[in-house]
Structure 1
C-alpha cells in the first residue's frame, strides 16, 4: 500500500473521532447530569449550561491521559505505521458500533472498558499475524502487548466498581443519619460545615490532584500547588463554610443546590479530563504515527518508537473536541434514554419498574435480608430505634405534580456528586483510566441502597436492573475484544476493500439502531399519556383515569381486530406482532392501576362510596386486560403449533362476535373520552345480544364436536375466545356504571340482569 492510502486512513480516523465523540458522550456524559436532573436542583437549561462549561474546562486536563492510546496497551516500538493504522481503524469502527448499540437500548456502558479491550483485541490480532507470517520470529504475544499496564487498567476499573458502591453507601448513610429526610432545620445547624467539606473534597481532587495533567500548567505551577495542598484545602474549607453560613442565615438559601451545581461542574470536568482519551486518543495516536512515518526515509517500514515518548497534546484540538461534546450533550435524544435508566433505578418512591425480577436478584435480596437480620440481633434495640427514627422517610403533606416531583432529594444528589467526582478525579490524577460510567452509576446505586430506596416492593427489580447493567459491562469487554480482533484481521488482509466494506456495514447497523431507537421513543411517548399530573383533586384524577381508559380500550380494540384477522388467515407473523403488544398493554394497565392507588392513598377525606367505586376500576380493568391477553396468546400458540385452522362456519360466527365487541369498545372509548352519557337501553341491548349470540354459537359448536368436524384443540380455542369476549363486554359495562356514577347521575340504574 502507498503512503497516500494511509493519509486517507488518517482522515477516516479523524472523521471517526467526531462520530465517536457523539456516541461516546451520548452514553457517558449524562452520568454527571443524573444527580442534578434527578433531584431537580435547578432548571434543566441551567444544569446543561453548567455541565457544558465543566466539559470545556475539563478537556484541557486530559493531555496526560492521551498516552494510554499510544502505549498503554501495546508496545508501539514493535509495530510499523501500517500495523498501527490497521489497529486504530478496527478500534474506532468497533467503538462507534458498540456504543451506539448500548445507547439505543438505554444501557450505560463504559467507554474506557470498550476502548481498552478494543485496543487489546486489535493489537492481539495484528501481533498474531506478525508472529505467524514472520520467519524465525522469536517474539511471543506478550512481547507485543503491554500486559502489565493492561492488567493495571482492568484491575483499577473493577476495583472502582466496589469502591464506588461502598463509598456511596457509607457516605450516604452517615449523611442521612446527620440530616435525616427532614433536613431543612438540621441544614441550618450543620449545613455550612458539611458543605465546606463537600466543596473541599470536590475542589481538591479536581483542581489540585488533577492539575498536573492540564496542558496549560507549567511544572513550576504544579509543584507549587502540590507543596501547598494543605494550605489550599484549609482556605477552600474555611471560605466555603463561611460563605454557606452567610447564605443560610442571611439569604435563606438552600446551600445544597449550589453544592450540586458545583458538583455537576466538577464531575463534568473530571469526565472530560478522564474520558476524552476514549474518544480522540486513538485518532490522535494515528495522526502522530503518520507524521512520524512520513518524516522518515522508510515510512512503511519504520517502527513507531516515537510513540513511546511523551507527546504534548494541542489545547486547540482538545477544545474543539470539547465543543463537539457540548453540542452532543444538548442535541442527542439517545442521551436522555441512557439517563432514564440510572434515575429510575435510584428513585426514592415506588413506580413502574423497567426490569423484571430474576432468580439471581431474588437470591441476592434474600441473602442481604438475612445478613441484616443477623446484624440486628447483635445491635441493641435502643440503637436500632434511634437510627431507625433518623432514617425513616418523611411523608410530605404537600402534593406536587408527578412530572415535577424529584426522583430523590438534594442530600442524596450532593453525596452522589461529591463521592463520584472525588473517585474519578483521584484516578485521573494518577493517569489511571477508570470508567466514569461505572463510578457514577455504582455511587448512585450505593447511595440509593443506603437511603432505603430499594424497599421490599422494589428491591428485586432494582437489583435486576443493576445486574443487567453490570452484565452489559462484561459483555462490553467481550464484544469489544472479539469484534475489534475480527475487524483488524479483515482490514489487514483486505485493506481498501475491507475499509469500504466495514464502513458500509457500520453505516447500515447505525441506521438500524436509529430506527429501533425511534420506535422505543414512540413507546415512551405513549407511556407518558398515562402520566397523572396531579392527584390533589379527586374529581380531576378520576377524569384523567377515564381518559387513560379511553386510550387503552382504543388500542385493545385495534389489537383484537388485527388478531382476529390474523387468526382467520393463519397469519403467524401478525399474531406474533400482536403478542408483543400484549406486554405493552399489560404495562399500561399497571400504570393506570398504580395511579389509582396513588389517588386513593392521598384522598382519604373522600367518602367511602366514591372511593369504593373508583377502586372497582382496578378489578374491571384487570379482567379486560387479561381476557385480551388470553385471546391473543391462545391464538398465537394455536397457529404456531400448526393445529388445524378454524372452520369456515366458525370464522363466520367469530366475525359476529368480533362485531359486537368492536361496537362495545368503540362506544366505551368515545364515552370515556367525551364524558358523555350512553343510553342504558343501547348498552343493555348490545350485551344481551352478545349473550344470546354466544349461547347460540356454543350450541352449534356442540353439534360440530359430536360430528367430529371440530377437533379438541380447535374446540378449546373456539370456546375460550367466545367466553373471553363475553367477559370483556361484561367488564366494559361495569366500567360504564362506574363512569356514570362518577360523572353523570346521582343514583344510576344498575344492570341487574348481568351476573358477575
Structure 2
C-alpha cells in the first residue's frame, strides 16, 4: 500500500497539468474577450500583454492556496489515506467536468468546480467515516466540514453574479450617457479624464489591493496602509497627465491604453485568483505526502499539518504560469468558449447561438412591461434626451459583415475590463476565490444590457443564452458535488484497483472530447451548402447567384427523395434517418436565406429593386420543396420505425418508377442551372405533364387497389401521403422553374433590344 500513494501523487501532478490546460481554455479567454471583441488592438499584442499578466499574476496566488487545504474541510479530522483519496477524486472529476463544458463551448467556473468537488468528496468521505463509527451520527458531519468558510465562499460567488451584473450595467449606462455612441468627438473633451479614472482604478485595485494576497505584502504594508487616499490622488494625476501626453503625441485615443492595461490587469487578477483552482489541490497533496513520509509513513496520521501556513513554491508557480501562457496561445477550445460570450454581447446582428425558450420570452415580456410602467414616472423630455445619447449610427451591414465588424466599441471594452478587474482584485485581496468567469461574463452582460445591445430583435435569444450559461453554472456545482462524491466512494472501496481504472477512463474521455471538438472545428463547408445573396445589388447578380443555389437544392432534393424511397423499400431505418437529417439541414439553410432577405433588399441598386420580388418568390418555392421533402422523410421514417407492414411489391415498383422519372428531371434541372444554360429550362418545363400524369395515374391505381385488395390502413395512408406530397414537390419545383424562366427572359430582352443592327 505504500507505493499506491506515491503513484497517486504522480497521477495528481499529471492531472494538474491537464487541469491547467482545460481550466485556462475555459477561464483565460474571459480577460481577452473585451480586447478581442472591440478589435482595438491586434490579436498578437493582446496575447503578449495577457501573457505578461499571467506570469506576474502567478506570484499573487500563493496566498490563495490555503483554500484547497483547509477552506472547505477540517484537515485535522481526516487521516493521510483519506485526504489522498479526496484529492485524487477531486482532480479526476474536475478535469472531466471542465473539459465537458469546454467542448460545448460554454463558459463555466473553475472556482465553483474545485470548491464543489472538494465539498462533495469531503462530505462523502466524512459520511463513510461516520458510518464506520459507533459513536458518531449524521449530525457530526459539521465537525468535518469547514461550514462557515464554505458558505462564505459559496455566497461570495453567488453574490458576485448580482454585483457584477449591476455594477457593470450602471457604470456602462453612465459612461454611454457621457460619451454616446459617437464617442470620438466626446473623448477629445472627456477622454483624458475617463482614461485617468479607469487607469487609476485598475492600478489601485489590481496592483495595490492585489498585493494583499502575496507573501511580499509585509514589506510594503507600512508604506501602503493609511496612505490610500494619497496613492489614489497621485495615481489619478499621473494617469491623467499620461493620457493627455499620449493623445497629443500619438494622436490616438487613450482608450487603447485602457484596454491594454485592463487586459494585463485582468489577466494578472485571473492568474492570482484562479491558479489555486488548478494547482491548489496538487500542492496540498504534495505537502500531505511530504508530512506523511516525515511522520513515519503512518496511513492513519492526522492531517492537522495542513492547517499550518505553508511557504510559497516559486518554481511550481513559474511552471504553472508557463503552462497557462502556452495554453492561452495554442488552445482551440478557448476560442470556442470566446465565441459564446462575444456573440451574446455583440452590439450588431449575429448568428444567434441559442434558441429562445419560455423563460427567456417571459423575462423579456416582463421587463418590457416594467419598463413601460416606469417610463410614466419620467418626463418625456428627459426620456427623449437620454434616448438621443443612446442613438447609434445606422450602417447597412449584412449579418456576415456585422459579425466581422467589432462586436462593441472601446468605451464598452474599457468598462468591461475596469469593472471586472476591480471586483476580482477586491475578492483576491480578501482571499475569497471569486469566480472570474462569473464576474467577467456578468459584467459583459450588464454592459450589453445598458448599451441596448439586447434590442427587440435579439433580446429573447440573448436572454436565452445567458440563462443557458447560468444553468450550466448550477449544473457545474451539482455535477461537481455528486461526481466527486461518487468517485471518492468508488476509490475508497478498492484504491489499488479502482484508481487505475478511473485514470484510464479519464484519458479515454479526454481524448474522445478532443477528437469530437477537433472534428467540429475542422469541419469544412459542404460544397452543396447554400450561399447567401445578401451582398448582391443587381438583377443579373441575383439570377446567377440564385442559379447556384437552385442547382444545389435540386441535387440535394434528388438525393433526399431517392434515399427516402430506397429506405422505405428496404426498410432501412439508418438510410431513412440519414434522409431526415439531410432535409433538416436543407430546411435550416433555406430558412437562413429567408432571414437575410432584409439585408438583400437593403443592398439592391435603385434600378434593381424589382429583383426583390423574384428573389422572395424563389425562396418561397425552395421552402415549399424542403417542406415536402421533410414530410416525405418524416412519414417514411415513422412507418418503418413503428414496425408497420412493409409496402407491397407493386407499390414499391410504382414509387421507384416515379423516383426514376424525377431523378432524370432533377438531373437535367441541376445541369441546366449549374452550367447556367437557362435556355434549357423551357424544355424541362415541357416534361412536367409527363411526370405529373404518372403521379396521378398511381393515385388512381392505389384507389382501386384500396377498394379491392388493400388490407392495411397504415400502408394506404403512407402511400397516398407520399404521392400527394410528391405532387406538391413537383408543383413547387415547376413553379420555381417557371419563375426563373420568366425572370431570365425579361432580363435578357432589354439587352438584346439595345444591340446595334449589323
Same fold (TM over 0.5): yes
Which residue does 1:506 correspond to in 2? 506
CA distance in 2 between partners of 1:222 and 1:170 (Å): 33
For structure 2, the residue ranges without an aligned partner over 5 or more in a row are 751-758
Deviation at 1:645, TM superposition (A): 2.8
Distance 2:735 2:589 in 1: 20
Deviations 1:184-218 (A, max 9, x none): 21121211111221111222221111012235x35
1:188 alignment partner, SS class: helix
**CA pair 193-292 structure 1, distance change in 2 beyond 3 A:** same
Residue 621 of structure 2: aligned partner:
620
Structure 1 partner of 2:302: 303
Aligned residue for 1:393, secondary structure, equals coil
Q: Describe the SS at the equivalent of 2:747.
A: coil
Q: 1:93 to 1:734 in 2, by over 3 A?
A: same
Per-residue deviation, 1:336: 1.8
Q: Which residue of 1 aligns with 2:187?
A: 187
User: How far is 1:353 from its partner?
Assistant: 2.0
Query: What is the rounded CA distance, in whole Å, between the counterparts of 1:557 and 1:519 in structure 2?
Result: 28
Instruction: Name 2:214's counterpart in structure 1.
Output: 214
Q: Quote the residue 1:644 is aligned against.
A: 645
Q: 1:524 to 1:70 in 2, by over 3 A?
A: farther
Are 1:657 and 1:690, in contact at CA under 8 Å, matched by a contact in 2?
A: yes
Give yes or no for contact 1:208–1:229 (8 Å, CA) kept in 2. no
Pairs within 5 Å for 1:45-444: 45-137=44-136, 140-215=140-215, 217-396=216-395, 401-402=401-402, 404-444=404-444
Q: Report matched runs for 1:484-563 at 5 Å.
A: 484-521=484-521, 525=525, 535=535, 537-538=537-538, 547=548, 550-551=551-552, 553-563=554-564
Secondary structure of 2:195's aligned partner: helix
Which residue in the other structure is 2:754 paired with? none
Deviation at 1:533, TM superposition (A): 10
Q: What whole-Å deviation, never above 9, does each CA across 1:284-336 have from its counterpart, x for those lacking one?
A: 11001000110113432221112111112222211211111122222222222
Tell which deviates more after alignment, 294-303 or 654-663.
Answer: 654-663
The answer to whether the 8 A contact 2:672-2:680 is kept is no
Q: 1:93 to 1:398 in 2, by over 3 A?
A: closer
User: Is the CA contact 2:78–2:303 (under 8 Å) kept in the aligned structure 1?
Assistant: yes
More displaced stretch, 31-40 vs 476-485: 31-40
With over 3 angstroms needed to count, the CA separation of the structure-2 counterparts of 1:705 and 1:532, relative to structure 1, is closer
Q: State the Cα deviation string for residues 136-158 of structure 1 (Å, max 9, x = none).
A: 35881110110111100110010
Change (3 A) 1:160 1:188: same
Is the deviation greater in 204-213 or in 326-335? Answer: 326-335
Q: What secondary structure sits across from 1:140 in the alignment?
A: helix
SS in 2 for 1:679: helix
Contact in 1 for aligned 2:170/2:450 (Cα 8 Å): yes
538-547 vs 49-58, greater mean Cα deviation:
538-547
3-state SS of 1:278 partner: helix
After superposition, the Cα gap between the structure-2 partners of 1:177 and 1:583, relative to the gap in structure 1 and judged at 3 Å, is farther
Q: Provide the rounded CA distance (Å) in 2 between the counterparts of 1:330 and 1:30.
A: 10
Q: Deviations over 1:466-524 (max 9, x none)?
A: 11111111111111111110100111111110101111222232233234334543668
Distance 2:448 2:30 in 1: 15
Q: Give a deviation string over 1:593-624, Cα, whole Å, max 9, x none.
A: 23332121233634332232223233222222
1:555 is displaced (CA, Å) by 4.4
CA RMSD of aligned residues (A): 2.7
Higher mean displacement: 390-399 or 331-340 = 390-399
Q: Is the contact between residue 173 and residue 447 of structure 1 (CA under 8 Å) also seen in structure 2?
A: yes
Name the CA shift for 1:511/1:223 in 2 (closer, same or farther; >3 Å).
same
SS at match of 1:254: coil
- Find the aligned partners of 1:510 and 1:258 in 2 and give their Cα distance: 39
| TM, length-normalised to structure 2 | 0.92
Kindly state the Cα deviation for residue 567 of structure 1 after the two structures are TM-superposed. 2.3
Query: 1:552: Cα distance to partner?
Result: 5.1
Change (3 A) 1:369 1:700: same
Moved more, 234-243 or 181-190: 234-243
Q: Distance in 2 between matches of 1:464 and 1:669?
A: 40
Residue ranges of structure 1 left out of the alignment (5+ in a row) = 750-756
Once residues 381 and 94 of structure 2 are traced to their aligned partners in structure 1, the CA distance between those partners, rounded to angstroms, is 55
Equivalent residue, structure 1, for 2:654: 653
Give, in whole Å, the separation in 2 of the partners of 1:202 and 1:533: 46
Structure 1 contact 401–534 (Cα < 8 Å) conserved: no
CA distance in 1, matches of 2:497, 2:578: 39
Partner of 1:752: none
Instruction: State the secondary structure of the residue aligned to 1:565.
Output: helix
Q: Distance in 2 between matches of 1:224 and 1:729?
A: 85
What's the counterpart of residue 754 of structure 1? none
Q: Which residue of 2 aligns with 1:590?
A: 591
Distance in 1, Cα, partners of 2:177 & 2:227: 34
Q: How many residues align?
A: 747
Partner Cα distance (2:673, 2:291) in 1: 73
Give the deviation of 1:406 after TM superposition: 2.0
Within 1, Cα distance between the matches of 2:541 and 2:415?
38
Instruction: Please give the secondary structure, in 1, of the residue aligned with 2:48.
Output: helix
Q: How big is the shift at 1:666?
A: 4.3
- Change in 2 beyond 3 A, CA 1:682/1:536: closer
What is the CA–CA distance in structure 1 between the aligned matches of 2:692 and 2:30, rounded to whole Å? 57
Deviates further, 327-336 or 4-13: 327-336
Q: Which residue of 1 aligns with 2:723?
A: 722
Distance in 1 separating the partners of 2:408 and 2:554: 34
Q: Tell me the CA shift for residue 689 of structure 1.
A: 3.0
- Flag the 1:244–1:111 CA change in 2: closer, same or farther, 3 A: same
2:690 maps to what in 1? 689
Using the TM superposition, give the Cα deviation of residue 646 of structure 1 relative to its aligned residue in structure 2, in angstroms.
2.2
2:467 maps to 1:467: yes
Deviation at 1:220, TM superposition (A): 1.4
Residues 436 and 560 of structure 1, relative CA distance in 2, 3 Å threshold: farther
How big is the shift at 1:246?
Answer: 3.7
